Amino acid sequence: MLRDLGFLGQMGVIATNSGREWHANAPEPFGPYYLHELINKGGLCEIWTATDEEGRHFALRRMHKMAKNGLFRKSPELKSFRNGCEILQAVHDHPFVIDYLKHGTINKTPYMLMDYVEGNNLKQLIGRHDSILAEFLGNILIDMAEALDHVHDAGYMHLDFKPENVLVTRNGDIRLCDFDLAQPRPVKPTRLKTNAGTPAYMAPEQMLNEPLDHRADIYAFGVTAYEILTFRPPFDGNTPDEVLRKKTKANGSIVPPRDFNDDIPIALQRIVMKCLEHDPDKRYVVTTQLVKELHKALYV
């Protein structure tokens, strides 16, 4: 597999804190587990490094303690959390998807136990222009596409594919995670009840709450690949509405990646731009095609 692409080799490395926090006191007991290091924290959930009584290491994702008071018992947030657990349980048997172990509740707090992967998410690596992106670019692009292809073949759409949900190990291996917004893959484009997601990575049809299918993930892959290659988004804006306005314009509003670095292979640029087509019918029909084209473009 291609390990080094020179067109990224000259981009600088900027050191940064990973954002993790060590637990100030003794490890916090949580049922049969002990929580050690806070890896990430969002609006409703947090992820910890954890061990069990036998000293085995895991990643433990749980809803914040406020869930104990019952506020989220019937909430959309709790439904999404459980949805993510169940779909990951169905699709985790793949080398580029985070490994699911179990989920349930402890002291009325929903949690999910996963394999612990040492590394950073792709958002962190892009933010500091990390050299690992040049060293393992071929791996990262192809493996992300293969992870999506597996999810689609298993009958689901991720619908929140973005750099923050792609973990990258020190060896350049990736793990796709966070399936809270994932949905069954429809036979034909279908309008969802909600259009939740991250606006910068959502396909136009997803942002407009129009019928969609797995090709929305292909669009999100294109946005992510564009950021890896250029360290900037294809669309920027201060608000979701501003991003939407730019996305709904003709494709000519996207500056080709080679305009920022003409060492990017023309074939790779063509793939990224095809993923970013406004009209889903002009994108790849299935992710398997995307994987094959990436192999050809990167000589892998």
Q: Which amino acids are annotated catalytic?
A: 160
If phi > 0 it is left, if psi is from -120 to 50 it is alpha, else beta; for residue 158 that is alpha
Q: How far apart are CA 166 and CA 212, in angstroms?
A: 23
For residue 30, the cross-strand partners are: 33
Total count of residues recorded for the chain = 300
Helices and strands in the chain, H and E counts: 10, 12
HSE-up of 254 (CA within 13 Å, CB side)?
23
The DSSP bridge partners found for residue 21 are: 38
C-alpha closest to that of 287 among 161, 181, 151: 151
Would you say the C-alpha torsion 228, 230, 234, 236 has a positive or negative sign? positive
Alpha helices in 34-121 (DSSP H): 76-91
